[in-house]
Structure 1
Amino acid sequence: MKINQLRDIVTVAEKGGLRAAARHLGLAQPAITRSIREAERELGTTLFERRTTGIVPTEIGRHYLQRARAILLDMERARDEVRQMLGEQVGSVSFALSTVSHLALLPMALDAFRQRYPDVRLNLVEGLLPRVQAGLESGELDFYIGPLSEHALPKSLGAELLFEQLRVVLGRRGHPLSEARSLAELVDARWISTSVTETTDAELGPLFARHGLPSPRVDLHAQSAFSMLMAAASSDLLCMLPEQFLRYPATQQTLSHIQVREVLPAPSVYAVRRSQVVLTPAAQFLHELLARAANLSRR
């Protein structure tokens, strides 16, 4: 299989048709058609089928596309790696950070990276592992830093612990429970919850249970820390967030820290990347900067 055939297959799938793919690649449509037919003949199966909405991959084609995209991405990174080793400022680094990683790590790493690689483009995705795992496995993302999910990682991915963290209870300024000093005093409160698990009560319920308390009432399940902050600041709902949020200006201006005596563990933060793939020099440098920032943040 030739690289240009992989390129043509991926482009047809992404553009939804031969004409659009040919226009995007600056090639004649018959050349694209011939390239794909040669690939299908070599594989012994069809990769696309025509529908009223356009050309779409067959079931086998969808699986093959995953491999093809990964190969093309690795080829691109291989070119970037060689050119970066020769001192050229080329390429990009695509990575994902959880919200806590944004707050705790990125500010200590970004300036140093820009000084070393001023012309290398950064593609930053915000999200937790379940949202970005497919991108890691396909090679679209170089690495992720944040909590793991409840599911075991596939063998293609490896994780390195960066730091443990604790949570704090936050409520709006002037909250009726702002003077509470134990979880027992917060049992009847209403809460906002978010987690990397698929169960709405999996975050707060086990924590309260460890202290012999019933599960609290969760009135809002948010998908991001930003949503939690906004909801807590404009209601009597409480939330728990990693302690790094106490340094966030928006938290300081709108929320109060309810200082309960219990230790409130939060999910640990890991660096996750493909196990058998070497990062480009630029991606490795950014990864090291963020890991170094993690060491500083836990002191």
Structure 2
Amino acid sequence: MKLHHLRDLLAVADHGSLRGAAREIGIAQPAMTRSIQELEKELGVALFERRSRGIVPTAIGEAFIRRARSVDNELVRARDEVAQLRGLTHGSVRVALSMVPHMALLPEVLRPFRQRFPDVRLDILDAVFPTVAAELQDGRIDCYIGPPPEQLPEGLIVEKLFDNTRVIVGRKGHPLAQAKSLSELAEAEWLTTSITAQAEHELGPLFAQHGLPPPTLVMQAHSALTLIVALLYSDLLSMLPTQWMRFPLTRDVLQAFDISEPLAAPPISIIQRAGLPLTPAAEHLCDLLRRAAAHMESGNLGEAVRLP
């Protein structure tokens, strides 16, 4: 098995046709066909089957393609790592951040990272763990920073950066802004985020813990922009990490309700694959995130609480 076999395999999987894959790679279609046949002969199984709209992977093909993507991603990282160890500063780092590290940590790390690795392409996804777990496992993402899942998938490791708390948030001037307990918010309508697979898991257990009926969930937001717009232009409430009330773009237009019940939040952590080192650039980014988290916990928020 040669590297070009894996390259061709992934191209066919991505394009769904031998012709499209050959065009993408820049080789003749018969050469692409021969490459896939050689790989199937070596493995002793069919990796693709023909359908009316092209070719699709077999069940075994799907499994092998996942491994091949991981190998391909590691080869890219290996090249980046060698170049960076030689003192060069090119390559790429791809990470996923939930909303809290976007607000509390990213403002402190962008400038120093760019100063150290000015030619490294930084690719940042706005996401929570369930939406990027597969990409993290197969190496398409270097690491994830945000709330960890209840059950960590095999092959991943987690490193806690800091514990967190939440607050009830609504627009400035909200009619329920003077509420002092969850019971006074029982009739409110709620906006939830996408931190969990099921929206009711965010608020339902909290209300049940205090003997209250389930909250009325009317909207779920999958981005910070949706959350901001919905909160500003409605009377919806949401339970959000406390960093929302420190961030320059939201602290002056939203307000936290001073309710008596404690509102715990998941910790913010770094999750990456076990046994596989990050590239120097990716590791430097994680070091900067660790330092920013330490500054935040000590009360020295730096640029995370003010615009440049």
- CA shift for structure 1 position 124: 0.9
SS of aligned partner of 1:179: coil
| TM-score computed with the length of structure 2 as normaliser | 0.92
Q: Which residue of 1 aligns with 2:282?
A: 283
Give deviations 1:235-290, integer Å, cap 9, x for gaps: 11111111101122332343222222322111111110001111110111111111
**Count of aligned pairs between the two proteins:** 298
* 2:167 matches 1:168: yes
Equivalences for 1:208-227 in 2 at 5 Å? 208-227=207-226
Give deviations 1:40-69, integer Å, cap 9, x for gaps: 110011111222211221121111100111
Q: Which residue of 2 aligns with 1:102?
A: 102
- CA shift for structure 1 position 226: 3.0
Q: Distance in 1 between matches of 2:266 and 2:194?
A: 9
Does the 8 Å contact 1:181/1:259 carry over to 2?
yes
- CA shift for structure 1 position 227: 2.1
Give deviations 1:152-182, integer Å, cap 9, x for gaps: 1122111111111111111122211111222
- CA shift for structure 1 position 31: 1.7
CA gap of 1:185–1:288, structure 2 versus 1, over 3 A, is: same
Does the 8 Å contact 1:109/1:289 carry over to 2?
yes
**Partner amino acid for 1:164?**
D
Q: List alignment gaps of at least 5 residues for structure 1.
A: none
Equivalences for 1:50-129 in 2 at 5 Å? 50-129=50-129
| TM-score computed with the length of structure 1 as normaliser | 0.95
Q: Distance in 2 between matches of 1:263 and 1:257?
A: 13
Does the 8 Å contact 2:5/2:39 carry over to 1?
yes
SS of aligned partner of 1:120: strand
Structure 1 stretches of 4+ with a deviation exceeding 4 A read none
Does the 8 Å contact 1:171/1:233 carry over to 2?
yes
* 2:254 matches 1:269: no
Computed over aligned residues only, the root mean square deviation of the Cα atoms, in angstroms, reads: 1.5
Does the 8 Å contact 1:169/1:241 carry over to 2?
yes
Give deviations 1:71-110, integer Å, cap 9, x for gaps: 0111111111111100112210011000111001111111
Q: Which residue of 1 aligns with 2:46?
A: 46
Q: Distance in 2 between matches of 1:171 and 1:69?
A: 44
**Partner amino acid for 2:21?**
A
Q: Which residue of 2 aligns with 1:15?
A: 15
**Partner amino acid for 1:196?**
I
Does the 8 Å contact 2:128/2:194 carry over to 1?
no
SS of aligned partner of 1:132: helix
SS of aligned partner of 1:203: helix
Q: Which residue of 1 aligns with 2:191?
A: 192
Q: Which residue of 2 aligns with 1:146?
A: 146
Q: List alignment gaps of at least 5 residues for structure 2.
A: 299-308
Does the 8 Å contact 1:195/1:203 carry over to 2?
no
Q: Calculate percent identity across the aligned residue pairs.
A: 51
Q: Distance in 1 between matches of 2:61 and 2:202?
A: 39
Q: Distance in 2 between matches of 1:217 and 1:22?
A: 53
**Partner amino acid for 2:18?**
L
